[in-house]
Structure 1
């Protein structure tokens, strides 16, 4: 197969261009702008609200915002789930908590995701570590070097 070379192929003669109609380029900008013209916009606010003073519009907007916030709090339930969680954690026996903490179970971020709203007071009876004890306990923990990379 022979390679293709452009200089071996004869060029076609250029075709003659026709002359544009008289006044074509003078009329072109107005014709393009007429096709691109933006449609008439509807006003965003009704007439009675546009004619109201600024303090009335501000008051209505503030009332709407406050009403939306109050409705979201009322429909959302507020802080009831947190109180139920704290009360259910208070009901867990201390021996069961110590068994869980002493086991090989690993804590992850989902275990710590929801903190109680008030201190539970379950650690005041048995945890009184000093700084050297904490340092020794942290140094004794195994290090997973692959997780640190």
Structure 2
């Protein structure tokens, strides 16, 4: 088992460390600067006209170049992408309407993705209402009977 360390058990030095030589801290900055190597001038060379500008002007110029480059790339990317994408939702709806219904049902049945209520909520309001006529053939009395058979427990109170 280790013995606990106690500072009082260890003797202290009788004399403090030797003081620094006279003028040491006054000469220290000059000695450090003499040892530091200057940065190579070739790496930081700037054109003469750029050096003639003040620092705020150089900062403004750099900001303008950066903003101009961003705006140019944004507008060029919009021109390149737009001809390949559908222009409106109407053309997308027409392309979807051209897909045979059997293929669409097979795709929905084969995929692991399930259609949820939020997916159906994103459908446009002008959807073709005649689609439901082919599979919903219930009278209002039948619908009312089915709703009456549902339990009326108030689970959400």
Q: TM-score, normalised by structure 1?
A: 0.40
Q: TM-score, normalised by structure 2?
A: 0.39
Higher share of residues assigned helix: 2
| RCO higher in structure (CA 8 A, sep ≥6) | 1
